[in-house]
Amino acid sequence: MSRVGALDTNCGDQPGAAAQVLTAHRLFRFYRAAGEEIFALVGVSLSVDAGELVAVAGPSGSGKSTLLALLGGLDEPDGGSVVVDGLVISHRPETERAAIRARSVGILFQYGNLLDHLTVGQNMRLAARLSGTTVAPPDVSGRLAQVGMAGTENMLPRQLSGGQAARAGLAVALVNDPPVVLADEPTAELDSGSERQVLGLLRLAADGGTAVVIASHSPRVLAVCDRVVHLADGQISRIDQLGEVR
Ligand SMILES: Nc1ncnc2c1ncn2[C@@H]1O[C@H](COP(=O)(O)OP(=O)(O)OP(=O)(O)O)[C@@H](O)[C@H]1O
């Protein structure tokens, strides 16, 4: 897989920062629906440092999910590029994008990222195997304990509450200590207690050096982030720097 060249890294809104692990350069994404062209993203650039917690905010339809999908290589941009941990993830065959994603990106979805027919522990071991690492059984229980889920290794996702499923999903997303975590509306379906726990864990991951991007419009989510990138009609309309600049 090709490493990014010097020119490619000179993008985003914090050029030159050494610790950038995620950069998106002038992303465009168009859709055609019912004969109409929809401009979901129009020239969005973004850089995220290791240890930074960044929220992507904006009203429904502003392009948050589209942006996260492009950052994680789940979708291809019509223009622009994405670099994850030194590797260009955009404009590659899906198999190569999946390999980069498995190694470098933990993904947490609103409706969970657990496979229904596998136990929590099996979900974690599968994610680890796909990333090229292995997690020994004691590590699985240790990691579950870290997210307040001790004793759930042999439970199926349907046996968990919404908050537990979100925390188990986070344990899966973090199983190989990826440099980047992307969370799309991770707390939208949770009660406030569970939301606090999940946000605390995402904050902890960032404080431990992970670059975390959360798509959300919840004020409680935005409050724990270092930076809030506001989208409107597929473009960055404002950036709020909340935490200290690293
Ligand atoms: N597969 C698709 N086909 C056609 N249009 C799409 C598709 N995916 C997204 N869009 C459109 O692109 C725009 C951005 O959508 P996106 O889901 O990224 O917004 P969002 O900010 O995440 O919204 P929400 O908060 O409701 O999830 C919207 O106008 C949406 O209707």
Tokens 């979901």 belong to which residue? 40
**So what's the pLDDT on residue 244?**
60
State the closest ligand 1 atom to the C-alpha of 58, by its place in the atom list counted from 1.
Answer: 21
ipTM: 0.98
Taking only the tens place, the pLDDT of each residue in 110-139 is: 767 899 999 999 999 999 988 887 777 778
Angle in degrees, CA 230, 23, 225, rounded to 5: 45
Cβ atoms within 10 Å, residue 31? 11
Q: What SS3 class is residue 117?
A: coil
Ligand 1 pocket test target in 29, 62, 214 with most atoms within 8 Å of CB: 62
Closest-CA residue, ligand 1 atom 6, reads 31
Reported pTM: 0.90
For residue 128 the two structure tokens come to 């680890």
Q: Where are the beta strands (DSSP E) in 95-216?
A: 105-109, 180-184, 211-215
**So what's the pLDDT on residue 57?**
97
Answer yes or no: is the C-beta of 58 below 6 A from any ligand 1 atom: yes
Q: Which amino acid is at 209?
A: G
Answer yes or no: is the C-beta of 229 below 6 A from any ligand 1 atom: no
DSSP 174: T
Ligand 1 pocket test target in 29, 38, 237 with most atoms within 8 Å of CB: 38
CA 66–ligand 1 middle distance (angstroms): 6
**So what's the pLDDT on residue 187?**
86
For residues 219-245, average pLDDT? 90
CA 137–ligand 1 middle distance (angstroms): 40
Rounded to the nearest angstrom, the gap between the alpha carbon of residue 181 and the centroid of all alpha carbons in its chain is 4
CA 67–ligand 1 middle distance (angstroms): 10
**So what's the pLDDT on residue 245?**
52
Least confident of 15-29, 83-97, 202-216: 15-29
147: nearest Cα among 110, 200, 94: 200
Taking 60 as the threshold, does the pLDDT of residue 78 lie above it? yes
**So what's the pLDDT on residue 3?**
42
DSSP 176: T
**What are the backbone dihedrals phi and psi of residue 12, each rounded to the nearest 5 degrees, phi first?**
85, -175
CA 26–ligand 1 middle distance (angstroms): 18
Q: Are 63 and 54 in contact (CB under 8 A)?
A: no
State the closest ligand 1 atom to the C-alpha of 32, by its place in the atom list counted from 1.
Answer: 4
> Left, alpha or beta for 58 (phi > 0: left; psi -120 to 50: alpha)?
left
